[in-house]
Structure 1
């Protein structure tokens, strides 16, 4: 059972909803109000486009950039290519299926990703699509072994798919045919999300729902190493959740990762051994510069952690439980969005919130995209915006 994070990305949602699914006393969690900010610089909307969104459904669908084009999708089945400079639509395809008597939406959930030839997107219907990047025509579609909640990742002649049922599948990039398939352990209860694999040195490195980071050979799917970074503990089912849903970051011979109810760690990429660890839990992928990891923890504190040893340089607590997006680095700032549709700029040196703007009252869930000095964000209602700091 995948526990939806739509009620909160840090699993405070059951408490706020008055739900006693797991028994026992309910913990009441206070959401911090959006902080008042005197913007230290103007924020300009450069352009706006739109897909057919659904504000009532939790979805991490977010845009991706490749070769000065933005590719985005909606849950219903729309896929768009958008010119990065102008925001004009290059092509627009609808992959939902409609007949005289019925309509079947695509239920896109995993993606979008792109490479030099194709745009990939996966669905809750356990189907992966490859579209021609130039015109949006479907080149192939493939049924896989479970919902696709993580972005498909292409490398050389393969596309790697991580499904909600715990399958790690390699498909032929040009045909969609099966190459290999690995089954990962999945607990009875887990968070709704999956780690998008990172490809490095001929291996796919990813987290799983049992608290591990794993490395598999790309050629044949053989396990290279496995390391636990989050251990089940506590008396409630939520306390025992230990998913590693973040995308590992690879730099040199180190892999950085974080688990829910677990640790942020640096792992030796050659054997998976822990180089250092710091107790800190999150479902979010983090941003990285030359010295620090920038982490949104499971309570929505934003923290700067040193790469060398995991010491905390600063913590921003003013956005507590605001269901933040993954953080990104924009110039000398950390940028995150929240459930009310605000976009925040934090000073990278000390965590101070120095600017904010409300993008869309429908809210922001997916990770912002930084490209060509612009921040591209997709709101829950499907609108896509490009902002820039003036």
Structure 2
């Protein structure tokens, strides 16, 4: 009887160990930052340094190679995971009601009380930076003092916008001027130099993703309540539709150009691979467990991203997918440093990918 009990116990142990996930397989943990409770979605790699914000209202700078904390600066505002914009001599980040500028040593240069939330990433052009404010449209501020240079206000309302993108002096912005009564919003193109509208077009969709510029075209994903999604290619010069296809795009993450075609995150199929010139579907992963939960990053002829089930996934241009590793906690965006691929997790660890499936 005793031997039978021991045998059952051993079988249970083997069964439990067999089903226990092998976290971080194929990865090397290069360092862990115990001094920060970072928000993994805020991390920005710039010139060998890692910038980001924390859950306790600080902005910080780490040495990327060692993970050593260089400085952190306290703020009275919450940055809500926003990525800081790092330029040659300044760092810009918007919070719940302010826009702040720091130097690269963490000293506050100026703080501008803007009164409304800056909900998306900040972009720059020449001496100006641009941020969309809840209910107040798109605003341009000068870098030196944070003073408002120009702004475009919505006619209806505007709870939030897509992340603005810029090419040369043209800004593309989605979800601008949303009207619940008329069931529409606008995608607009703006001259960054003076704030004049180049073109605007109405959309019968609730969510607009971040645009992708490629030469004289911009590719944008639209979705309505995870039910009526489309992908459009627009002419940057006048906003006219070059092609449009029905899809199920995940508008939280940006599409990328991959091997001369278009790779779209999908909330239903994981990834869709579209012909760049026609929008025709070339292949789809057709796996809802591979839905992206980070940005897509191309590295050595494959695309890497973190999935909704906390796995690092790689995909090639033929639609073959590979599970690189599983994480115990959430993943941040993959990042490339000195021709190596790195992945941050949600608790301050930085991993390097050893094997490239």
TM-score per shorter chain, which class?
0.7 to 0.9
- 1:217 corresponds to which of 177, 188, 191: 191
Q: 1:249 to 1:147 in 2, by over 3 A?
A: same
How far is the alpha carbon of 1:149 from its aligned partner? 1.7
Q: Judge conservation of contact 1:195–1:207 (CA < 8 Å) in 2.
A: yes
State the match for 2:335 in structure 1.
369
1:63 aligns with: 43
Tell whether 2:268 aligns with 1:268: no
Equivalent-residue separation in structure 2 for 1:171 and 1:77 (angstroms):
23
TM-score, normalized by length of structure 1?
Answer: 0.73
Deviation at 1:151, TM superposition (A): 0.8
Q: CA deviation at 1:289?
A: 2.7
Structure 1's unaligned 5+ residue stretches are 1-35, 97-104, 233-241
Q: Per residue, is there more helix in 1 or in 2?
A: 2
Q: Which residue of 2 aligns with 1:249?
A: 212
Local SS of the residue matching 1:87: coil
Q: Does 2:357 align with 1:385?
A: no
CA contact (8 A) 2:85 2:123 kept: yes
Residue 110 of structure 2: SS of its match in structure 1?
strand
User: What SS class does the counterpart of residue 263 from structure 1 fall into?
Assistant: strand
- Match for 1:316 among 285, 308, 326? 285
- Mark the structure with the bigger radius of gyration: 2
Q: C-alpha distance in 1, partners of 2:241/2:212?
A: 14
Q: Map 1:260-299 onto structure 2 (within 5 A).
A: 260-261=223-224, 262-280=229-247, 281-283=249-251, 284-299=253-268
Paired position in structure 2 for 1:170: 140
CA contact (8 A) 1:324 1:337 kept: yes
The CA deviation at 1:256 is 1.2
Q: Indicate the RMSD between aligned Cα atoms, in angstroms.
A: 3.0
What are the superposed Cα offsets for residues 127-147 of structure 1, whole Å, 9 maximum, x if unpaired?
Answer: 1211112x1111111122521
Match of 2:103 in 1: 132
Instruction: Give 1:91's match in structure 2, choosing from 68, 71, 84.
Output: 71
Tell me, what secondary structure is at the counterpart of 1:61?
helix
TM-score, reference length from structure 2: 0.80
Superposition pairs of residues 345-356 of structure 1, within 5 angstroms: 345-346=314-315, 348-356=316-324
Unaligned runs of 5+ in 2: 1-19, 179-184
Residue by residue, what CA displacement relative to the aligned partner does 1:249-296 show, whole Å, maximum 9, x if unpaired? Answer: 112111111112332111111111111111123312112235122111
Instruction: Report how many aligned residue pairs link the two structures.
Output: 322
Separation (CA, whole Å) in 1 of partners of 2:220 and 2:311: 27
